[in-house]
Structure 1
Amino acid sequence: MKPILKISRYICLLFILTGCVKKEILDEISLIEGIGFDYIDKENIQGTVVIPVYLPDQPPKNNTFTAEAEIKKSILQDIQREAADPIVTGSLEVVLFSKTLSEKVGILPLVDAFQRDPAVGAGLYLAVVDGETKKLLAGDYGIRGNADYISKLLEHNVKNEDLPKTNLQLFLADFYQEGKTPFLPQIKHIGKGKMAINGISLLRSGKMVDLIKPDEMFSFKLLVDKYSEGMHRVKIDNGEAAIRSIHSSHNYELTKRNPTEITVHLKVEGVINEFTGQELTPKLMHKLQEQFEKDIRKECIAMINRFKEKEIDPIGFGHFVKTQTRNFDFNNWRENQYKDLVVKIKPEVKISESGVIE
C-alpha cells in the first residue's frame, strides 16, 4: 500500500501546482512580434507594436497599435487599452529604434526594459531605422508578417552577406564590456513592400555616433566577425571578378608597447564566380589576390583611423589589450593610449578559379 500512497500524493501535488500556473490560451491573447520606438521630444517617445492576425488560407494581416509615453512599460499599458485581447511579448522577434531617437535620446533605457522581461529571448533582433519605425512597421512586405520579414532579412544578411552577428545578447555583452563599442544594423524603407540594410550604427553610451556605410561593411565584418559565406567584387585593369563563397577568420596580435601596436591577421578564402575580362590566367589570379589584399588593408586602416578620431572602438582593441596586460588602466587607455594606437593589417587571400567567365 505504501507505494500506492506515495504515487497518490505525487498526483495530488501535481494537480495543485498545475492550478497555480497562469494559463494563456493562444486564441485569447495578442502576441507582439515587433515593436518600434520613435522620437517625439526629449521626454516622450512614440511606440508602435505589430501584431499579426492569422486567417485561414490567407497571408497574415498586420495590425499595428501606437501610443505615446515616457517608458516602454507605459506604452504597452496604453496599447492594452486599445486591444481586444491581452498583449504579451513572448513571440517578440524585432525591436526597432528610429535614427533620430538613437541620436538625440539614446536607446539604453528601452533596451534595459527588454533585458529585464523574462518573456523576451536573448536572440531578439535590435535595429536602427533610417526614418520612422511606425511607417516601416505599417508597410506590407509580402506573405510573411512584417516582424518576421525583418527578422529573416537580418538573419539572411548575417549568414550570407556583410552583416556581423547581432542580437540582444551580443549587444548587451558589447555594451557592458569595457573597451568595446556596441553596434546595431540599420535598415531603411526603400519602396513599396521593400526595405534594405543601409549600414551599421555605432553607439557610444547608448547614442548613435557613426555609421558604417554599405560599401564598408565587408571590411568591418572581417575585423569583428567571420565569414562562412559571402561575396565581394575586386577590380583590376584586365577586368572585374566576383568572389563568392568567402570564408574568413581574424586574429589579433599585440606586437609592441609604448606606443601600443596591434597586428590584425586576416585570412580570406573564396572562389571566382564571374570574371568580366578575357581568359583568367594564373598571372591574373595572382594579380586579383594582390589587389584584394590591398583593398582590405586600405579600407580597414581608413575605418580604424576614423574610429580613433571619434573615440569609439567597435572592434574591441581596448578589450583585447586588457587581456594581454596586467593591471590595465582603462582611463589611461581612453585618454592617451588609444589615440596613439598603431594598427597593422596583414591580409592573406586565397582564391580559386570557378564558375562563369564572361
Structure 2
Amino acid sequence: MRHILKLFASIFLAFILIGCVEKEILDDVSLMEGIGFDYIDKKNILGTVIVPVYLPDQPPKSNTFSAKAEIKKSILQEIQRQTADPVVTGSLEVVLFSKTLSEKVGILPLVDPFQRDPGVGSGLYLAVVDGETKELLSGNYGIRGNATYISDLMEHNIKNEDLPKTNLQLFLADFYQEGKTPFIPQLKQIGKDKLQINGIALLKHGKMVDLIAPEEMFFFKLLVDKYSEGMHQVKIDSGEAAVRSIHSSHNFKLTKRNPTEIMIHIKVDGIINEFTGQELTPKTVKALQKQFEKDIQQESLKLIKRFKDKQIDPMGFGHFVKTQTRNFDFKNWRENQSKDLVVKIKTDVKISESGVIE
C-alpha cells in the first residue's frame, strides 16, 4: 500500500512540474530561420532577420526585419520592437556575415551568443557573404523559404560537391583547437532568385584572411575532409574525362623530426562517366590516373605553401604533431618548427573504365 501511495505522489508531482514549464505556442511567436550581419563602422553593425510567414495553400513567404546596433549589443532587442510577436531562435538554420565585416571586425563577437543559446542547434550553418547579407536575405529562393534554401544549398554541396563538412559545432571545435584554422563557406547572390557557393573563407583569430577559390575547392576538400560523392575533370592530350562518384580519404604520417616532415597519403576512387576523346583504352585510363595524381599533388602542395606563407593551418598540422609529441610546445611550433615544416604528398588514384564517349 505504501508503494502505491508513493507512486501516486510521484505522478502527481510530475504533473505539477510539467505545468510549470514555460510554453511557447507557435502561432504566438515569430520563428527566426536566418540572420545576417553587415558592417556599418567599427562600432556598429546592421542585423537582418528572416521570419517565415505561412499562408494557406501557398509557399511560405520570407519577411525580413533589419536593425542597427553596436557590435557587442543584441540585434534581437532592436528587432523585437518591430515585430508583433516575440522573435525566437529555435528554428534558426543559417547565420551570415558580410565579407567586409568578416575582414575588418571578425565574426567571433557575433558567433558567441549562438553557442550560448540553448535553443540553437549545433548543426547551424555559418557563412560569409560576398556582398551585403541584407540584400542576399531579401531575395526569393525556392518554395520553402530563403533560410531553408541556403541550408539545403550547403548540405547538398557537402554531400555531393566540393564543400567540406561545416557547421557551428565544427567551426567552434576548430577555433578552440590550438593548431587548427577554422573555415566556413562564402556565398554570393548571382540573381534575385539565385545563389552560389563561390569559395571557402579561412579565418585567423576570427577574421577572414584568405579565400579558397571555386577551382581550388576540390583539392582543399581532399586535404581536410573526405569525399563520398563528387566530380572532377581530368585533361590529357587525347581528351578530357569527367571522373564522377569520387570517393576519397586521406591520412597524415609524421615521417621525420628536426625539421618536422609530414606525409599525406590521399586515396581517390572514381568512375569515368564521360570522355571526349576517340577511344577509352586501358592505356588511356592509366594516363588519366597518372595525370589525376599529378594534379592532386601539384595543386595540394600549392595550397599548403600558400597557407604556410600566411601562417594559417586549416589542415591542422600543429594539432596533428601535438598528438605525436610528448610535452609539445605550441609557442615553439608557431615561432620555429612550423616555418621549417616539410609536407610531402603521396597519391593513389584508381579509375574504373566505364561510361560514355563523346
If the length of structure 1 is used for normalisation, what is the TM-score?
A: 0.98
1:72-126 CA-partner distances (Å, limit 9, x unpaired): 7521011111101111000000000000000000000111111000100111000
Q: Is the 8 A contact 1:269 1:350 kept in 2?
A: yes
Task: Structure 2: give runs of 5+ residues left out of the alignment.
Answer: none
Greater displacement, 55-64 / 9-18: 9-18
Mind listing any 5+ residue stretches in structure 1 that lack a counterpart?
Answer: none
| Paired residues of 1:67 and 1:78 also in contact (CA < 8 A) | yes
- Per-residue deviation, 1:167: 0.3
Indicate conservation of the 8 Å contact 1:72/1:113, yes or no: no
Contact 1:64 1:138 in 2 (8 A): yes
Determine the C-alpha separation between the residues in 1 that align with 2:51 and 2:76: 13
| Number of matched pairs | 358
Q: Is the 8 A contact 2:43 2:71 kept in 1?
A: no
Equivalents in 2 of 1:77, 1:112: separation in Å? 16
State whether structure 2 residue 260 is matched by structure 1 residue 223. Answer: no
Q: Does 1:149 align with 2:149?
A: yes
C-alpha distance in 1 between matches for 2:130 and 2:72: 21
Matched, 1:198 2:198: yes
- What does residue 288 of structure 1 align with? 288
Counterpart for residue 253 of structure 1: 253
What do residues 34-55 of structure 1 show as CA deviations (whole Å, max 9, x unaligned)?
A: 0000001001111000011111
**Deviation of the 1:4 alpha carbon:** 4.4
Q: Does the CA-based 8 Å contact 2:233-2:240 persist in structure 1? A: yes
SS in 2 for 1:354: coil
For 2:72 and 2:130, how far apart are their aligned partners in 1? 21
Q: Secondary structure at the match of 1:254?
A: strand
Q: Which moved more, 1:187-196 or 1:67-76?
A: 67-76
- Show the counterpart of 2:315: 315
Q: Which residue of 2 aligns with 1:109?
A: 109
Q: 2:248 touches 2:266 (CA, 8 Å); kept in 1?
A: yes
Separation in structure 1 between the aligned mates of residue 58 and residue 71 of structure 2, nearest angstrom: 35
1:187 is paired with a residue whose SS is strand
User: Which residues of 2 match residues 178-217 of structure 1 at below 5 A?
Assistant: 178-217=178-217
Q: Secondary structure at the match of 2:211?
A: strand
Deviation at 1:192, TM superposition (A): 2.5
- State the distance in 1 between where 2:332 and 2:185 align: 30
**Conserved 8 A contact 2:67-2:75:** yes
Match of 2:158 in 1: 158
Q: 1:307, 1:18 → 2: CA distance? A: 54
Cα separation, 2, equivalents of 1:355 and 1:34: 42
Q: Give yes or no for the alignment of 1:25 onto 2:25.
A: yes
Q: Contact between 2:33 and 2:147, CA under 8 Å: does it hold in 1?
A: yes
Matches within 5 A, 1:1-358: 1-71=1-71, 74-358=74-358
User: Following TM superposition, by how much is the alpha carbon of 1:12 offset from its aligned partner in structure 2, in angstroms?
Assistant: 2.1
Specify the code of the residue in structure 1 equivalent to 2:69: A
Aligned with 2:307: secondary structure? helix
Q: CA separation in 2, counterparts of 1:164 and 1:98?
A: 21
Secondary structure of the corresponding residue to residue 333 of structure 1: helix
What is the Cα-based RMSD across aligned positions, in Å? Answer: 1.0
SS in 2 for 1:186: strand
SS at match of 2:344: strand
Supply the AA of the counterpart residue of 1:84.
A
State the distance in 1 between where 2:119 and 2:72 align: 15
| Cα distance in 1 for residues equivalent to 2:113 and 2:332 | 32
**Separation of aligned partners in 2, 1:109 and 1:347:** 40
* Kept after mapping to 1: 8 A contact 2:232/2:242: yes
- Secondary structure at the residue paired with 1:222? helix
Sequence identity percentage:
79
2: CA distance, partners of 1:3 / 1:179: 58
> 1-side partners of 2:151 and 2:142: how far apart?
14
Cα distance in 2 for residues equivalent to 1:352 and 1:12: 66
